[in-house]
Structure 1
Amino acid sequence: MPDGWQWDRTLFRGSAAHYARGRLPYAPGFPETLAGALGLDGRGRLLDVGCGPGTVLLPMARFFAEVVGVDPDEDMLAEARRQAGRRGVTHARWVAARAEDLPAGLGEFRAVVFAQSFHWTHRDRVAAVVREMLEPGGAFVHVSELQDPPPAPAPPPSPAPPYERIRELVRRYLGPVRRAGQGVLVDGTPGGEELVVARAGFVHFARHVVPGGDVVTRTTDDLVAWTFSRSDAAPHLFGDRREEFERDLRALLEETAPGLHPFAERLPATEIRIWRKPPERGRA
């Protein structure tokens, strides 16, 4: 976990309702890329730690006999159940727990995935526990947007979302230091997953990048949802000024794209990093 910060239940409080609409999807084809990299055949079990509303778990469900999503936020799990019902995913199980509560009697898995959630955990402890939960040769998987991507071509004439101006507005309301639950993140969230996972005894690192690039349009409502889906701008952080903040946010977006004109941006590439649990001695 970030130095000087303690997790609390308000980290994403109120964000679940905005997540599916506000967050950009991972790049098309990421489930097939991950399934191919892991040699999935419809058997085995998947554990998604910090699953949120099922963003990764649900597209991956068809490649496993059972999928289990773990998240401490009950609202996120409720949204995941709704999304599973819409998709017809009937072999998913949802567990209200933190990563630090594992193994929680959940059994053995072929793969355990963290989709931009590992940095919120006690990483060394969690990585060591996950290693014990994996079958021999099982995979520890980290999914995220590609970090530091090469410059992308400009989107069509529609304006790009004014993300930096949105962040400036959030800082005006919540202060210059990033908020996270009841605390703050002075230095942001930690990186260096490679070292943490290696310390836990995982081997055979592999990296896959799934290209993005498709142009997606974003409405004002989409960008309001994006803002409230973030831990540093979760609705509860604004207290009794939430409606005032949303009015200012919508005015900012209207100024950038007057009338009904949508915003446009290119879908980022998705980065998949995979480490393996060593096979048992005497087994290939």
Structure 2
Amino acid sequence: MTWEWDATLYAGSAAHYARGRLPYPAALGTAFAAELGLDGTERLLDVGCGPGSLTLLLAPYFAEAVGLDADADMLREAARPGTGNCRWVHRRAEELPAGLGRFRLITFAQSFHWLDRPRVAATARGMLAPGGVLAHVHAATHEGAEGSVPRAAIAELVRKHLGSVRRAGRGVLPDGTPGGEAEIYRAAGFAGPRRFEVPGPVVTRSLDEVVDSVFSLSSAAPHLFGDRRGEFEGELRQLLREASPAGTFTERFREIAVDLWTPVTRGC
């Protein structure tokens, strides 16, 4: 069966996402500004913004930053900092353009794979202002590439409670999330990509932050455990205490890669 999005995809995950995902580094905002010559006079649209992790980072480089997400709880988390030039829109990406206007930069950060990708990419192309760019941000902010967090054991614990097939909302993703976004962007009328990268940091995380990172995942969202959530969390915390009695963990995160796509100019 073909997986279809539903509103429970990240149900109950918003606060865990905000606490358990590593913030995007300031260097990423600096790199965007340098690559695109941002001067604070234009507009940003962050599609699938979640709790505003990227929106809030990039907002100072724009006159207005619009974060769009289908999960109202995520947007409530995003609105907490109260950044003056941010606007939060509760809609699915498939509802774009939704009267939002045109943008210098449209970003997809850890969100594009959840969407009707051909449809959204084509719509986004039409929402770019002259000289506008679409950015696909490749990042993994929930876990590091290596470190002392026992990620393999955590994955096994999730499988013990939820089964061997990856869960996602009310459905399953036996083959994981789709790739091949380059072909989709090109088919939608984009050229590129031009890539830049920002190094990933080495961070120390608390036991609570690691727990939050697990519940931030669609494949381990709190609602999936039903009335066994407390049992799962108890086993997860015990596993982590055994791995680190001090309750601290170190992880080295992967570099963040950004692919910049520009619309192809179509002749008459």
Instruction: Give the TM interval when normalised to the shorter protein.
Output: over 0.9
Match of 1:276 in 2: 262
* Cα distance, 1:183 vs structure 2: 0.3
* In structure 2, distance between residues paired with 1:136 and 1:199: 20
The worse-fitting range, judged by mean Cα deviation, of 9-18 and 134-143 is 134-143
Residue 258 of structure 2: SS of its match in structure 1? strand
Match of 2:90 in 1: 96
Contact 1:27–1:268, Cα closer than 8 Å, also in 2: no
Scaled by the length of structure 1, the TM-score of the pair is 0.89
* Cα distance, 1:66 vs structure 2: 0.5
* In structure 2, distance between residues paired with 1:183 and 1:167: 19
* Cα distance, 1:124 vs structure 2: 0.4
Matched AA of 1:165? A
Matched AA of 1:267? F
* In structure 1, distance between residues paired with 2:225 and 2:176: 20
Match of 1:233 in 2: 220
* Cα distance, 1:278 vs structure 2: 3.5
Contact 1:136–1:278, Cα closer than 8 Å, also in 2: no
Match of 2:34 in 1: 36
Residue correspondences, number: 265
* Cα distance, 1:28 vs structure 2: 4.3
* In structure 1, distance between residues paired with 2:157 and 2:226: 15
* Cα distance, 1:21 vs structure 2: 1.5
Alignment of 1:218 with 2:205, yes or no, is yes
Q: Structure 1: give runs of 5+ residues left out of the alignment.
A: 147-151
Residue 29 of structure 1: SS of its match in structure 2? helix
Which of 76, 100, 120 in structure 1 is aligned with 2:114? 120
The percent of aligned pairs where both chains have the same amino acid is: 56
Q: How does 1:1-284 map to 2 (within 5 A)?
A: 4-83=2-81, 85=82, 89-145=83-139, 160-212=148-200, 214-258=201-245, 260-278=246-264
* Cα distance, 1:261 vs structure 2: 4.0
The worse-fitting range, judged by mean Cα deviation, of 27-36 and 96-105 is 27-36
Match of 1:149 in 2: none
Instruction: Provide, for residues 123-180 of structure 1, a one-character-per-residue CA deviation record: whole Å limited to 9, x for no partner.
Output: 001000000010122111011227xxxxx8x76xxxx101111111000000000000
* In structure 2, distance between residues paired with 1:215 and 1:28: 15
* In structure 2, distance between residues paired with 1:197 and 1:247: 43
* In structure 1, distance between residues paired with 2:170 and 2:247: 37
Instruction: Provide, for residues 223-269 of structure 1, a one-character-per-residue CA deviation record: whole Å limited to 9, x for no partner.
Output: 110010000000000000000000000011011112x2411111321
Instruction: Give the ranges of 4+ consecutive aligned residues of structure 1 lying more than 3 Å apart after TM superposition.
Output: 278-282
Contact 1:137–1:278, Cα closer than 8 Å, also in 2: no
Instruction: Provide, for residues 175-202 of structure 1, a one-character-per-residue CA deviation record: whole Å limited to 9, x for no partner.
Output: 0000000000011001111110011111
Distance 1:62 1:280, change over 3 A: farther
* Cα distance, 1:204 vs structure 2: 3.7
Residue 43 of structure 1: SS of its match in structure 2? coil
